[in-house]
C-alpha cells in the first residue's frame, strides 16, 4: 500500500489527497521530461525552473519537487545539501495556490519543515516569509494571467456576452486571483509562465454560476457546452494550466479516468491530444482508499510533435503494463481506448457504431411505490440494476408502482412497449427483453435501436455475449470497475456487426429467455441453458472474428426443422446436435477466442 498524505479526501470539496508514490512518480517524470527538452543543461537551468501546483493541498507534489531539485542541483554543481540551498529552492523554484486556507497553512508548514531538515542556517521567520510569498490562497481558475492566450483582461471591467461586467462579478461573487500580482517574477519577464505544472486538481461539478460565466467569457478553449462538453472542474484546471504554461513546459495531472471514456469529456480528450500534446497516460486504477473513483495520470508537452502514439502504462494488477494508443482515438472525441491493440483495430471497421444508445429510466417517488403487490400498486417496477439478468429478471428486487401515477407522468407508453433493458451501472451490457405491462427505474437503461432493420432479439444475443463483454471491459471502459454507466457513451461506441442470417439469433434469444425464466431449474435444465449460452457465444465470436458462416448456417438449417412453439428444453435438445457441437468447438478453439477467454475480467 503506497503512503498517503495525512488528510486524505473531502467529498464536499472534490479534493482527494494524492498517495505519495503517485505524486513522486508524476513530479520526477515531469522534471526529467522538462530537463530532456532543454537545449542547454546547466546549473542556471535548474536554478530558474518554476514548478506550480495550482491546487496545492498539503503540498505533496511540491515536496517531491523540492527534494528532486535539491538532488539534481547537488549532482550538477557538486554542491552540499545546505539550508541556504533549500531556501533557494523554496524561493525560486516552487509555487502553489489553493482556495482553502487550511491547505495553504499546512503546505507552508511542511515546506518550512523540509527546509530545516538538515540545517538551521536560516531562522524560521525568514523561511516563513518565503513560503508565504510562494504559496498563496486564491482561486486558480479565476483571475488574469496577463497572457495573450486568454481573451482579454478579466479585471478590466469590460462587459462580457452575458451583459455583466467582470468588475461587478469581482465585487459580488469572488475575488479573482491575479497571477501577475501574486507571482510577479513569473509573469513580468520576456518568457512568462511556469515551466512545470503538476497536481491533483479537484473534480466534480463544483463551479458556481459566476465562475462558469468567467470561464466562458475569458478562456480561449471551451471544454464546456453540449453533450460533448463538461463543467467538471478537473477539465477547467487543464484549460487553465495551458494558459499558465511556458511554450516548452510540461503538465502532469491526476484526473478521473472518466475523462478517457464518457461523452461529456469528448472536448477534453481532443484538447489533451491536440493542444496539450499528451504523450503518456498511466492508468492508476483506484488509488484513493475508501473512495469509489478511478484515476489516470496524464503527462503533456504542448510543444512536442503531436502525431506520435501515446504511451499507456497500467498499475492495475493483472493488466498489461505498457501499451501505445493511437492519438487519433483521442482527437476524434470518441472513447480514448487505452488498451488499444491489433484486435480492436480489426474489429472496429467490420462493425458500425452509433446503431444503439442507452437511456436511463425514471425514478418514481417512494409514495407511489410499494415493495409488495397490492390494490392500486400492481405494475412491476424494475428500479434496481440488480433486477436485470442476462435473458431474465430477478424478481426479488422488483417493486410495484401506482397505476394512476403512471398515467399522469406519461409513462403509459413505456409500460405498453417491449424493448431491451440493461443494468445501468455495469461495464458491459446485461440484457433482457422487457415485456408489456412493466416499467423500469433509474438503475436500469433501455436500449434504443436507431436502425429499424435490426431486431431487438438479435441484438440481445450480441449484447449478452462474451465477445461484447470483452470489447466493453478492455476497450470501451479501459478495465474500469467503478462508476461505469452504460448511458454515458459506452453503448453508442459498441461496433455492431449485424448478421446476414438473423433467424438463429432470434430463436436462441427466445429459447434462452424462456429457460432463464424458470425459477428453480433442474440440473438437466441448467445444463441446457449453459449449452445454449455457449452456442450463442460461439455465434457472436464467429460473427466478429471468424471468416465464414459455418456455425450460423448449420444452426439455421437445424431451426428450420423445429417447431418454434415447442418446449424450449426440447428445442435445446434438437439444437445441441453432434454436428453443431463440433462446429461450435471449432469456433471456441480459435486462437483469438482463447486469448479473449483467458483475458482479465472474463472469469467472473
Query: What is the structure's pLDDT at 7?
Result: 37
Can you give the three-state secondary structure of 519-581, one letter per residue? Answer: CCCCHHHHHHHHHHHHHHHHHHHHHHHCCCCHHHHHHHHHHCCCCCCCCHHHHHHHHCCHHHH
Q: Are residues 543 and 419 in the same domain?
A: no
Entry pTM: 0.89
Q: Are residues 179 and 68 in the same domain?
A: yes
Q: Are residues 441 and 507 in the same domain?
A: no
- Give the separation between CA 511 and CA 572, rounded to whole angstroms: 8
Specify if 451 maps to a domain.
yes
Query: What is the structure's pLDDT at 452?
Result: 94
Specify if 31 maps to a domain.
yes
Q: Which domain holds residue 596?
A: 499-604
Q: Are residues 222 and 148 in the same domain?
A: yes
pLDDT digits (tens, 9 = 90+) for 400-430: 999 888 877 878 889 999 999 999 999 999 9
Q: Are residues 460 and 557 in the same domain?
A: no
pLDDT digits (tens, 9 = 90+) for 444-490: 999 999 999 999 999 999 999 999 999 999 999 999 988 788 887 89
Specify if 1 maps to a domain.
no
Q: What is residue 364's DSSP assignment?
A: P
**pLDDT average, residue stretch 10-15:** 50
Answer positive or negative: Cα dihedral of 547, 551, 557, 563. negative
pLDDT higher than threshold 80 for residue 177: yes
Residues contacting 109, CB < 8 A, separation 6+: none
The label of the residue with cell 516548452 reads: 248
Task: State the pLDDT confidence band at 160, using cuts at 50, 70 and 90.
Answer: very low
- C-alpha distances (whole Å) from 122 to each of 23, 94, 95, 119, 145 are 28, 18, 20, 8, 33
CATH number of the domain that 361 lies in?
3.90.220.10
Specify if 2 maps to a domain.
no
Domain end (from 324, 340, 356): 340
Q: Are residues 107 and 172 in the same domain?
A: yes
Q: Are residues 164 and 296 in the same domain?
A: yes
Query: What is the structure's pLDDT at 604?
Result: 59
Q: Are residues 395 and 528 in the same domain?
A: no
Contact 420, 432 (CB under 8 A): yes
Query: What is the structure's pLDDT at 146?
Result: 67
Q: Are residues 284 and 204 in the same domain?
A: yes
What is the arrangement of strands in the sheet containing 444-449, beginning at the earlier edge strand? 356-360, 444-449, 419-423, 431-434
CATH number of the domain that 26 lies in?
3.40.50.150
Burial (Cβ within 10 Å: 0-12, 13-18, ≥19) of residue 105: middle
Task: State the pLDDT confidence band at 174, using cuts at 50, 70 and 90.
Answer: low
Specify if 466 maps to a domain.
yes
Give the mean pLDDT of the chain: 88
**pLDDT average, residue stretch 186-191:** 88
Domain end (from 340, 356, 383): 340
pLDDT digits (tens, 9 = 90+) for 566-591: 677 777 777 888 899 999 999 999 99
Q: What cell was used for 579?
A: 454436428
Query: What is the structure's pLDDT at 251?
Result: 98
Specify if 192 maps to a domain.
yes
- C-alpha distances (whole Å) from 412 to each of 374, 375, 382, 447 are 19, 18, 15, 18
Task: State the pLDDT confidence band at 565, using cuts at 50, 70 and 90.
Answer: low
**pLDDT average, residue stretch 495-521:** 94
pLDDT digits (tens, 9 = 90+) for 211-247: 999 999 999 999 999 989 999 999 999 999 999 999 8
| Number of folded domains that form the chain | 3
pLDDT digits (tens, 9 = 90+) for 70-107: 999 888 877 788 888 999 999 999 999 999 999 999 99
Task: Determine which of 17-26, 75-84, 387-396, 528-537 has the lowest per-residue pLDDT on average.
Answer: 75-84
**pLDDT average, residue stretch 372-391:** 94
The label of the residue with cell 465470436 reads: 541
Of the candidates 145, 143, 139, 144, the one whose C-alpha atom is nearest the C-alpha of residue 99 is 139
Domain end (from 297, 322, 340): 340
Q: Are residues 124 and 17 in the same domain?
A: yes
- DSSP SS3 for 253: strand
pLDDT higher than threshold 50 for residue 166: no
Specify if 3 maps to a domain.
no
Q: What cell was used for 370?
A: 410499494
Q: Are residues 528 and 580 in the same domain?
A: yes
pLDDT higher than threshold 90 for residue 148: no
Contact 246, 189 (CB under 8 A): no
pLDDT higher than threshold 70 for residue 137: yes
Q: Are residues 303 and 397 in the same domain?
A: no
Specify if 358 maps to a domain.
yes
pLDDT higher than threshold 80 for residue 42: no
Contact 494, 476 (CB under 8 A): yes
Amino acid at each position: 500500500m503506497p503512503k498517503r498524505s495525512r488528510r486524505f479526501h473531502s467529498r464536499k470539496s472534490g479534493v482527494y489527497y494524492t498517495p505519495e508514490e503517485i505524486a513522486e512518480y508524476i513530479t520526477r517524470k515531469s522534471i526529467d521530461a522538462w530537463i530532456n527538452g532543454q537545449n542547454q543543461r546547466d546549473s542556471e537551468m535548474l536554478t530558474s525552473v518554476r514548478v506550480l501546483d495550482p491546487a496545492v493541498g498539503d503540498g505533496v507534489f511540491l515536496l517531491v519537487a523540492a527534494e528532486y531539485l535539491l538532488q539534481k542541483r547537488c549532482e550538477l554543481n557538486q554542491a552540499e545539501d545546505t539550508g541556504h540551498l533549500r531556501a533557494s529552492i523554496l524561493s525560486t523554484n516552487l509555487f502553489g495556490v489553493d482556495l482553502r486556507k487550511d491547505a495553504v497553512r499546512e503546505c507552508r508548514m511542511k515546506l518550512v519543515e523540509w527546509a530545516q531538515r538538515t540545517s538551521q542556517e536560516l531562522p524560521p521567520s525568514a523561511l516563513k516569509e518565503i513560503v508565504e510569498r510562494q504559496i498563496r490562497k486564491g482561486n486558480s481558475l479565476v483571475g488574469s494571467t496577463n497572457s495573450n492566450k486568454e481573451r482579454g483582461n478579466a479585471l478590466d471591467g469590460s462587459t462580457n456576452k452575458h451583459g455583466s461586467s467582470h468588475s461587478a462579478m469581482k465585487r459580488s461573487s469572488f475575488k479573482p486571483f491575479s497571477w501577475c500580482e501574486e507571482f510577479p517574477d513569473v509573469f513580468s519577464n520576456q518568457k512568462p509562465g511556469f515551466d512545470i505544472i503538476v497536481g491533483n486538481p479537484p473534480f466534480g461539478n463544483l463551479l458556481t454560476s459566476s465562475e462558469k460565466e468567467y470561464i466562458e467569457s475569458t478562456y480561449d478553449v471551451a471544454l464546456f457546452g453540449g453533450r460533448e462538453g463538461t463543467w467538471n472542474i478537473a477539465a477547467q484546471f487543464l484549460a487553465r494550466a495551458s494558459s499558465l504554461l511556458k511554450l516548452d513546459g510540461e503538465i502532469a495531472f491526476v484526473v478521473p479516468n472518466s475523462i478517457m471514456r464518457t461523452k461529456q469529456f469528448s472536448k477534453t480528450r481532443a484538447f489533451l491530444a491536440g493542444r496539450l500534446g499528451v504523450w503518456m497516460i498511466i492508468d492508476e486504477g483506484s488509488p484513493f482508499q475508501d473512495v469509489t473513483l478511478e484515476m489516470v495520470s496524464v503527462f503533456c508537452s504542448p510543444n512536442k510533435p503531436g502525431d506520435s502514439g501515446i504511451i499507456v502504462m497500467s498499475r492495475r494488477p493483472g493488466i498489461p503494463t505498457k501499451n501505445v494508443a493511437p492519438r487519433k482515438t483521442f482527437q476524434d472525441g470518441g472513447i480514448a481506448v487505452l488498451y488499444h491493440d491489433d484486435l480492436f483495430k480489426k474489429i472496429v471497421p467490420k462493425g458500425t457504431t452509433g446503431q444503439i444508445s442507452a437511456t436511463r429510466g425514471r425514478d418514481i417517488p417512494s409514495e407511489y411505490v410499494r415493495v409488495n403487490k397490492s390494490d392500486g400498486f400492481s405494475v412491476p417496477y424494475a428500479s434496481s440494476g440488480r433486477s436485470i439478468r442476462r435473458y431474465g429478471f430477478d424478481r426479488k428486487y422488483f417493486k410495484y408502482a401506482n397505476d394512476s401515477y403512471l398515467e399522469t407522468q406519461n409513462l403509459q407508453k413505456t409500460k405498453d412497449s417491449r424493448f431491451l433493458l440493461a443494468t445501468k451501472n455495469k461495464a458491459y451490457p446485461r440484457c433482457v427483453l422487457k415485456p408489456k405491462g412493466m416499467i423500469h427505474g433509474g438503475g436500469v437503461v433501455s436500449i434504443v435501436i436507431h436502425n429499424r432493420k435490426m431486431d431487438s432479439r438479435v441484438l440481445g444475443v450480441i449484447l449478452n455475449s462474451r465477445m461484447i463483454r470483452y470489447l466493453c471491459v478492455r476497450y470501451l471502459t479501459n478495465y474500469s470497475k467503478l462508476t461505469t454507466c452504460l448511458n454515458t457513451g459506452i453503448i453508442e461506441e459498441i461496433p455492431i456487426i449485424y448478421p446476414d442470417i438473423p433467424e438463429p439469433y432470434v430463436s436462441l434469444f427466445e429459447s434462452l429467455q424462456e429457460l432463464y425464466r424458470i425459477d428453480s431449474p433442474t440440473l438437466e435444465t441448467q445444463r441446457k441453458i449453459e449449452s445454449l449460452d455457449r452456442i450463442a457465444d460461439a455465434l457472436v465470436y464467429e460473427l466478429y472474428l471468424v471468416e465464414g458462416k459455418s456455425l450460423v448456417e448449420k444452426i439455421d438449417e437445424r431451426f428450420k426443422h423445429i417447431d418454434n412453439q415447442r418446449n424450449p428444453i426440447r428445442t435445446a435438445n434438437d439444437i445441441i446436435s453432434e454436428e453443431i457441437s463440433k462446429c461450435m468447438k471449432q469456433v471456441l478453439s480459435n486462437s483469438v477466442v482463447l486469448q479473449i477467454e483467458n483475458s482479465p475480467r472474463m472469469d467472473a
